């Protein structure tokens, strides 16, 4: 057998030499060979050739005559993919085999036996002596050498490429492959003619071109590794098929109780890179998870790899752990990873502020302590209250505010409810989702705020573990207020400077005074019964004696209990408002005094003249009577501003007569006054004539607190006409005299 192979090799060599000398003759070439030959002259190797030198020799060489090479078995094992790769540094037993010659040179096949199997080896240094023995396995990083060997040892590649590249018709393909490997390894062309040397160069060039374009070759190259046994003679190279295994990722949440069912979190779309180095610089596969956290399966060489997350899914923090995993032949390695959900640590949940001042300092007797808020968490992002859509919260709590009006997400503030969510470090936090807050009990002195506050906890999905998207809610509180408006009766003119006494449920009292607009306010009303009454009025007004009693209920509502005001003294109107309640208190103007100044035509004061005051013009509704004294004065006190009075003399002094009108009817005086003490205005109207306070000859005197209106009435003696009568009396009397004279003239006989 060995002799036959040797003769076959000699014959092939002779034919190759003759081809380089004899003229070319026509042959029937395959189409692939034609295409390859067409490229030969233009191809030059892209990879730097001849750059590999000897490695360190490990171990001593020895001859093992019993070892034989079985190429057929080796290829079969390679196809089945059941071998493990040889480990770098492990032993390789090199045994020379069948010889081959080419040009003036010769080589032999090598059997390479490693811990994983026996392989066909090639001498990489043709001009060195033949090695034999046990040497150390090293990995050779040369794609061109790998491609050359694969085109020979892989049947599919040999059939499509190798037999044409290595000129199968010469029946010396091993020798040519060996020569091409040697040229690629160390640049050696020893023993070759110029034409044969060019042929070897062309073989390398064509192979390198196929590496860039041939998909089948590329696939096999990805499945094989190239090894070298460095030694003191010839370095021997071979290829081993890398055994395959699978790898996938199974991703879970570190807190499934938070993330399960929450649409803000998804395991879908996490991307993991698989690397050959711990520094994660050489990525060889990408694994992407689905909604259940299962990734695709990647097939890789059985080896050790490193896996790290390169893209986080929605709602999760970036896991920076680099996982080390070993892929074994025929097995699937499952990398189990867990990511922490992104959460929002929250301490201050809400803060109450006064709606009028926007400060967290309560007004009046109110407090911010003790307000209760219903806090609900919904698993998902919602623009409005999910409860309106029939969605139930996942967890809920009732939070109580402290003396500063602050409600915190802490156990000491929790009135009732579920356990708080916590992060891996134990810190209380909200998951991504929606928080709904609503006040359910107001503190004393403030009204409940019915607003439903919706806060979304969101993430920008940048892999952050912590977000700060929650904005603590500022809850404006309307202080529970009793507004007092002080007005003048009938005119509704605001009265400034009026004072009111407020008696509180505990019996304590406070006094408030109206401002320039007649307004005062009792703020921060606490629960229980209250009383309000007027205690002081400015000059020109009469204090309203009415009292108001009201109750503040447990839900801070104001309810009227008693109102003792009257229309006559001035009404006190009670009504509920958005601020709580309001009182409109009417004050009547201070009454004025009417003074009758009685005298005769000579200015003498007349005593005992009687004057009567009436409500009506017909003088049927008598109010009171008054007689003049020695000074001729008659007084009517306590007359109401705004009322119209009628007065007449009902008894004249002795020797005088009562003033009458021309028709003989009694002289009646019509009197009314108007007042605005706030502006110091007081006017009096007597028989259609108006008198002002500021008039130089005004009949008005006194102070704001006590105004006096004086009417002068003159009585005449005997039959003299009274000055106090109507001016029409003289006209009527004159007309009467004229009528008498006319009648006398009419009855006198006419004489010519």
pLDDT digits (tens, 9 = 90+) for 17-61: 333 333 332 333 445 444 544 544 444 344 444 444 333 322 222
Class of domain 481-587: mainly beta
Q: What is the DSSP letter of 347?
A: S
Q: What is the pLDDT of residues 95-127, one digit of tens each?
A: 999 999 887 888 999 999 999 899 999 999 988
Give one DSSP letter per residue of 260-315, joined into a string: TT-TT---TT-EEEEESSTT--SEEEEEEB-TTSBBPPEEEESSEEEEEEEE--TT
What is the distance between the alpha carbons of residues 109 and 175, in angstroms, rounded to a whole number? Answer: 9
- At 120 the pLDDT is 97
Domain with CATH 2.60.40.10 in the chain: 244-339, 343-477, 481-587, 592-725
- The answer to whether 668 and 661 are in contact (CB under 8 A) is no
Statement: 592-725 belongs to CATH 3.40.50.10860:
no
Q: What residues does 285 pair with on adjacent strands?
A: 274
pLDDT at 178 over 50: yes
Q: What is the pLDDT of residues 491-530, one digit of tens each?
A: 999 999 999 999 999 999 999 999 999 999 999 999 999 9
- What's the gap between Cα 311 and its chain centre? 24
Class of domain 244-339: mainly beta
**Full-model pTM:** 0.64
- The answer to whether 272 and 286 are in contact (CB under 8 A) is yes
- At 10 the pLDDT is 39
Q: What is the pLDDT of residues 276-322, one digit of tens each?
A: 999 999 999 999 999 999 999 999 988 899 999 999 999 999 999 99
Quick one: average pLDDT of 137-143? 94
What is the distance between the alpha carbons of residues 466 and 345, in angstroms, rounded to a whole number? Answer: 7
- At 718 the pLDDT is 57
Question: What does pLDDT average to over the chain?
Answer: 85
Share of the chain above pLDDT 90, in %: 73
- The count of other CB atoms within 10 Å of the CB of residue 189 is 20
pLDDT at 339 over 60: yes
Quick one: average pLDDT of 5-11? 38
The token pair at 83 is 């071998």
- At 735 the pLDDT is 57
What string of H, E and C letters represents the secondary structure of 669-704? EEEEEEEEHHHCEEEEEECCEEEECCCCCCCEEECC
- The answer to whether 113 and 132 are in contact (CB under 8 A) is no
Q: Which CATH topology does 343-477 take?
A: Immunoglobulin-like (2.60.40)
Tell me which of 317 and 7 has the higher pLDDT.
317
């Amino acid at each position: 057998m060995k002799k036959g192979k040797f003769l076959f090799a000699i014959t092939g060599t002779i034919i190759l030499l003759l081809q380089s000398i004899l003229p070319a003759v026509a042959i029937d070439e395959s189409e692939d060979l034609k295409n390859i030959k067409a490229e030969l002259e233009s191809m030059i190797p892209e990879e730097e050739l001849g750059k590999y030198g000897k490695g360190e020799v490990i171990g001593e060489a020895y001859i093992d005559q019993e070892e034989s090479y079985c190429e057929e078995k080796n290829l079969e094992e390679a196809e089945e993919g059941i071998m493990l790769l040889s480990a770098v540094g492990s032993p390789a037993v090199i045994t020379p085999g069948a010889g081959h010659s080419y040009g003036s040179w010769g080589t032999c096949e090598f059997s390479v036996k490693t811990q994983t199997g026996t392989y066909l080896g090639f001498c990489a240094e043709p001009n060195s002596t033949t090695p034999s023995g046990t040497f150390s396995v090293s990995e050779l990083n040369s794609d061109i050498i790998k491609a050359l060997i694969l085109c020979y040892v892989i049947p599919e590649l040999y059939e499509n490429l190798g037999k044409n590249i290595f000129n199968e018709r010469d029946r010396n393909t091993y020798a040519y492959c060996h020569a091409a490997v040697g040229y690629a390894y160390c640049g050696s062309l020893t023993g070759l003619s110029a034409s044969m040397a060019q042929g070897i160069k062309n073989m390398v060039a064509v192979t390198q071109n196929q590496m860039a374009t041939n998909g089948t070759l590329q696939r096999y190259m990805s499945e094989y590794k190239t090894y070298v046994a460095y030694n003191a003679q010839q370095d021997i190279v071979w290829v081993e098929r890398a055994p395959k295994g699978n790898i996938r990722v199974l991703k879970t949440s570190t807190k499934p109780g938070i993330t399960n069912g929450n649409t803000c979190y998804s395991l879908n779309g996490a991307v993991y890179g698989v690397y050959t180095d711990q520094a994660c610089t050489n990525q060889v596969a990408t694994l992407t998870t689905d909604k259940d956290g299962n990734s695709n399966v990647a097939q890789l060489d059985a080896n050790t790899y490193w896996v790290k997350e390169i893209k986080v899914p929605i709602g999760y923090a970036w896991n920076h752990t680099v996982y080390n995993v070993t892929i074994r032949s025929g097995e699937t390695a499952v990398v189990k990873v867990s990511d922490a959900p992104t959460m929002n640590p929250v301490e201050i949940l809400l803060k109450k502020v006064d709606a009028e001042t926007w400060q967290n300092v309560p007004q009046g007797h109110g407090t911010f302590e003790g307000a209760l808020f219903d806090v609900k968490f919904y698993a998902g992002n919602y623009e409005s209250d999910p409860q309106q859509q029939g969605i139930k919260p996942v967890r809920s709590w009732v939070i109580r505010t402290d003396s500063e009006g602050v409600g915190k997400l802490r156990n000491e503030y929790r009135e009732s409810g579920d356990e708080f969510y916590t992060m891996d470090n134990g810190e209380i936090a909200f998951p991504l989702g929606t928080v709904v807050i609503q006040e359910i009990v107001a503190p004393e002195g403030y009204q409940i705020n019915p607003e439903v506050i919706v806060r979304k906890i969101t993430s920008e999905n940048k892999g952050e573990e912590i977000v700060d998207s929650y904005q603590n809610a500022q809850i404006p509180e309307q202080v529970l207020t009793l507004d007092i408006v002080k007005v003048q009766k009938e005119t509704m003119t605001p009265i400034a400077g009026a004072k009111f006494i407020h008696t509180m449920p505990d019996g304590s009292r406070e006094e408030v005074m109206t401002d320039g607009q007649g307004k005062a306010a009792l703020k921060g009303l606490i629960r229980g019964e209250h009383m309000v009454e007027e205690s002081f009025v400015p000059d020109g007004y009469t204090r309203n004696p009415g009292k108001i009693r009201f109750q503040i209920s447990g839900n801070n509502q104001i309810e009227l209990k008693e109102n003792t005001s009257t229309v006559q003294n001035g009404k006190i109107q009670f009504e509920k408002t958005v601020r709580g309640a309001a009182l409109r208190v009417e004050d009547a103007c201070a009454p004025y005094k009417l003074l009758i100044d009685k005298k005769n035509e000579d200015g003498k004061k007349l005593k005992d003249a009687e004057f009567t005051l009436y409500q009506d013009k017909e003088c049927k509704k008598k109010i009171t009577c008054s007689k003049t004294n020695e000074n001729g004065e008659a007084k009517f006190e306590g007359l109401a501003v705004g009322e119209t009075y009628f007065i007449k003399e009902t008894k004249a002094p002795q020797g005088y007569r009562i003033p009458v009108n021309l028709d003989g009817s009694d002289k009646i005086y019509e009197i009314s006054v108007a007042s605005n003490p706030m502006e110091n205005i007081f006017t009096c109207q007597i028989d259609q004539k108006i008198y002002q306070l500021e008039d130089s000859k005004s009949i008005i005197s006194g102070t704001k607190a006590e105004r006096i209106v004086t009417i002068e009435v003159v009585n005449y003696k005997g039959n003299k006409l009274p000055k106090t009568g109507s001016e029409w009396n003289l006209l009527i009397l004159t007309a009467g005299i004229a009528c008498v004279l006319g009648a006398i003239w009419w009855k006198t006989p006419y004489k010519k």
